[in-house]
Amino acid sequence: MSTDITKGTPSTSYNGGWRTSSAWLHTWSGLTLGWILYFVFVTGTVGYFDTEIDRWMQPELPRSQTGTSTDEAANAILNFAQANAPGADQWLMSLPASRNQPFGSLYWRGASIESGAVSASGNTLIDLNNITALNARETGGGQLLYQMHWRFPYMTRNYSDWIISIATFFMFVAIISGIITHKRIFKDFFTFRPGKGQRSWLDAHNVLSVVALPFHLMITYSGLLFMGFSFMPLVFAAYYGNDNGARGQFYSEVFDPPGMVAAAGVAAPLTDLDAVIEEAESVWGENRIATIDIRNPGDSQARIFISENFDQTVAAGAGRLVFDGTSGELLHNAPSASSPAKAVRDVSLGLHEGLFATTLLRWLYFFAGVVGTAMVGTGLVMWTVKRRQQASSEIDKKHRGIRLVEKLNVGTVAGLFVALAAYFWANRLLPASMPGRADWEVHTMFLTWALMLMLSAVIPARLGWPLQFRLGGFAFVLLPVVNMATTERGLIHSLATGDWVFAGFDLTALLCGALLFWIAQRATQVMNKHQKQRAPQTGSTSPIPSEHPVEGARQ
Amino acid sequence: MNLSAPRLIALVAAALIGGYFTAISSGIFAGSLFGLIWGTPRSEAALTGHLLSFISYAFIVIWVFHDRRPLFVWSILSVITLLMTTIGMWLGGMLA
């Protein structure tokens, strides 16, 4: 397998095989940005339940209003827009069409405050029953948690894009080189040798990698495509030139709906929305409309762009219809996949986001994400296990590097769960009227993570692993208790009333907590077993390398 | 697997920076080629090249660390990048 790059023993000379070189590359591309990948996997996995988490984090909101008919919802939001955002350049109305959009909402910009708009631009959820804005505690919610996995907080978009792109690319290289390394990938899959030190870690890492290999490949490649326009802009520059205008030209050729026009400045009443909805439904079928985007409402050049709900297709792009906003005439019908390459891109992105997934499939996505997280986690731990064994026979020279990786591993692989739980705790415990409370939820999460890294720096890893997993376990198990103490929608209430979003969150938190306790227990056992093996220091050295993943040679 | 520090740096640079530009050039080349064969507009060619460039990038990196001769990989990557960019952009100019 891989050896150290700068210092190899004479017996580990490079023999030129693809598997050997791939193993080396696999190790280093996986480790270098492994902690970033771990963070991306954890927040991305949680993100498959972004909308559900949103709702748990705003317990003041009513139950989902997805049952509302398209006509009723559209007219309610339109009434709200006319009353609260007159004279706007754009009203983007989202209908509560599926799990992804539990409430109606309105985004507007360019509204006229003289004509009575509440603000020039805004974005608000709307209660369809009485046409008022829905107000709840300020929070980033599940959306922000999910967003963290493609855009880091505390960083400009530019830096974050580059870091995530490179980390994702390293992951892609790690997966492909990992496949090349394991010639007998399926035989390895059926080989699991528990309780055998490094072998067991390797087997576990193999099983976790192979069992969800299609998912890992798909999620990484499509992740690259998400970042692609900022990561590899030069491919487009070759065709369009490199200035901003040229780039805009490309985007509009590929993505813009046809028939965008500027406002004429001549007032004209908006057409009857019901007729437009009826025509759209004659094309797509009933209740298939997700958003109604009205540009220049009240102008003679008004346009209505209607997007199809894409919960019934894997592809991320939606079909669009364009109507004249004054006559109600259908001007364009733009299907989602306008070209084969765009179809490949849309399907890749759609598979990544999984917005189409219904309950069962959504859970499968979640578990695949958990497996991916565990794959990255075991990979990181394995690096230290291997090196501890090699190092134990040598002098204490390389140990600084190993110890650093170990500390980062404990504080991230285990500590990140404590930080994640802290984000939810902060949502319940920070006062509802606190200024900047949404920011403070995030600060709480990252301060907790920093605390866990500091804890890991001062406590030996032997104790740190079980301790931090146990802390995570407590933090998650107690979440339903905190919820019950601070809201009316505790677990007992939600189970009794069939409130599955709340019950689901609380039960999942309990399950996560239990899992973390179990991992802590296993970690303790492994550490103790190693302590016993070491204690006698008998001359008979076992052919099986020591099991201690952390402190093999520190004495 | 003895790699001296300068050699390692030369290889990492070849893989990440050299490979990056070779990957882009392969995208331009393949996009234009497919574009001409299937008669697609340039937006489609650009998107096709974009989809393929990440795959070439990964395999270039794997190859660089397999070969491990900095001078050789740098020369090969430079020549290929120059060729594919030139031909790719020339072919791309014929697209609609």
Domain ranges of chain B: 17-92
For chain B, what is the radius of gyration of the CA atoms?
A: 15
What are the start-end ranges of the E strands in A243-399?
A: 289-295, 303-308, 320-324, 330-334
Instruction: Give the confidence band of A15 by pLDDT, cuts at 50, 70, 90.
Output: low
Domain boundary among A320, A352, A384: A352
Residues of B in contact with A176 (CB under 8 A): 58-59, 62
d(CA A16, CA B82): 28
Residue A48 pLDDT: 96
Residue A196 in domain: no
Mean pLDDT of A543-550: 40
Residue in A22, A240, A340 nearest the CB of B62: A22
Q: Which two tokens stand for residue A262?
A: 């500027």
A334 and A269 in a common domain: yes
Q: Let me know: does A148 contact A130? Beta carbons within 8 Å.
A: no
Kindly state the average pLDDT of the residues A457-464: 93
Nearest Cα of chain A lies from the Cα of B79 at a distance, in angstroms, of 18
Q: B54 vs A25: CB contact, 8 Å cut-off?
A: no
Q: How far apart are CA A149 and CA A525, in angstroms?
A: 33
> Could you say which DSSP state residue A552 is in?
T
Query: For residue A148, is it within any domain?
Result: no
Shared domain for A338 and A462, answered yes or no, is no
For residue A394, the model assigns a pLDDT of 56
Residues, chain B, total? 96
Same structural domain for residues A409 and A553? yes
Confidence band of A358 (pLDDT split at 50, 70, 90): confident
Question: Which of A352, A367, A389 represents a domain boundary (last residue)?
Answer: A352
Residue A544's pLDDT is: 40
Give the E-state strand segments of A115-267 in sequence order.
122-127, 132-133
A residues 251-310 lying closer than 8 A (beta carbon) to B: 253-254
- Say whether B4 and A6 touch across the interface (CB within 8 A): yes
Instruction: Name the DSSP letter for residue A61.
Output: S
The parent domain of residue A99 ranges over 70-135+244-352
Amino acid at A394: E
Select from A18, A173, A250 the Cβ nearest to the Cβ of B46.
A250
A428 with A320, same domain? no
Which residues in chain B land under pLDDT 50?
Answer: none
How far is the C-alpha of A207 from the C-alpha of A221, rounded, in Å?
21
**Mean pLDDT within A13-27:** 79
- How close B73 comes to chain A (CA, Å)? 15
Domain check: are A327 and A420 in the same one?
Answer: no
Nearest residue to A266 (alpha-carbon basis) of A245, A246, A288, A296: A296
pLDDT score at A371: 96
Q: Give domain status of residue A513, yes or no.
A: yes
CB contact under 8 A, A21 and B89: no
Please report residues of B whose CB lies closer than 8 A to that of A14.
1-2, 68
Q: Which of A91, A96, A125 is nearest to A110 (CA)?
A: A91
Domain count, chain A: 2
Summarize pLDDT for A106-133 with one digit per residue, the tens: 999 999 888 888 899 999 999 998 899 9
Among the residue ranges A47-61, A450-464, A522-536, the one predicted with the least confidence is: A522-536
Note whether residue A236 is domain-resident: no
A246-250, A348-352, A395-399, B23-27 — which one is most confidently predicted on average?
B23-27
Rounded (10°) angle between helices A340-353 and B42-67 = 60
Q: d(Cα A61, Cα A252) in Å, to the nearest integer?
A: 37
- Map residue A124 onto helix, strand or coil: strand
Judged by CB atoms closer than 8 Å, whether chains meet at B28 and A224 is answered as no
**A297-355 pLDDT per residue, tens:** 989 999 999 998 877 777 777 788 999 999 999 998 887 666 788 888 888 998 999 98
Looking at A297, A318, A352, which one is the last position of a domain?
A352
Cα–Cα distance list, A454 to A447, A449, A457, A459, A460 (Å): 10, 9, 5, 9, 12
Residue A217 lies in a domain: no
Q: Are residues A430 and A516 in the same domain?
A: yes
Enter the ipTM: 0.95
Q: Is B12 on the interface with A (CB under 8 A)?
A: no
Vertex A166, ends A160 and A170: CA angle to 5°? 140
A31 in a domain, yes or no? no
Q: Report, as an integer, the average pLDDT of A473-496.
A: 96
The mean pLDDT of chain A is: 86
- The confidence score (pLDDT) of residue A137 equals 93
Where is pLDDT greater, at A528 or A92?
A92
State the smallest CA–CA distance between residue A313 and chain B in angstroms: 21
Q: How far apart are CA A250 and CA A241, in angstroms?
A: 10
Residues 6+ apart with CB under 8 A from A56: A142, A483, A501, A502, A505
A264 assigned to some structural domain: yes
Same domain, A251 and A348: yes
Calpha distance A110→A124 (Å, rounded) = 15
CA dist A399 to A38, A289, A390, A394, Å? 23, 60, 11, 10
B19 touches chain A (CB under 8 A): no
How many whole angstroms from its chain centre is CA A472?
20
Q: Which of A176, A228, A239 sits opposite B58 (nearest CB)?
A: A176
Query: What's the gap in Å between the CA of A387 and the closest CA on chain B?
Result: 15
Tell me which H or E stretch contains B14: none
Q: Is the dihedral of CA A204, A207, A211, A217 positive or negative?
A: positive
Same-domain status, A329 and A425:
no
The answer as to whether A493 is a domain residue is yes
In chain B, which residues have their Cβ closer than 8 Å to the Cβ of A20?
A: 1
pLDDT grade for A552, boundaries at 50, 70 and 90:
very low
Contact B47 A342 (CB under 8 A): yes
Look at the alpha carbons of B60, B65, B68, B70 in this order and tell me if their dihedral is positive or negative: positive
Which residues of A are less than 8 Å from B61 in CB distance? 25, 29, 173
Is residue A112 located within the same domain as residue A251?
yes
pTM of the model: 0.88
CA separation for the pair A207, A190 (Å, rounded): 8
Indicate yes or no: CB of A172 within 8 angstroms of CB of B54. Answer: yes
Q: Which residues of B touch A228 (CB under 8 A)?
A: 50, 54
Closest CA to A4 of A403, A439, A402: A402
Same domain, A263 and A342: yes
| Smallest Cα distance from A233 to chain B, Å | 9
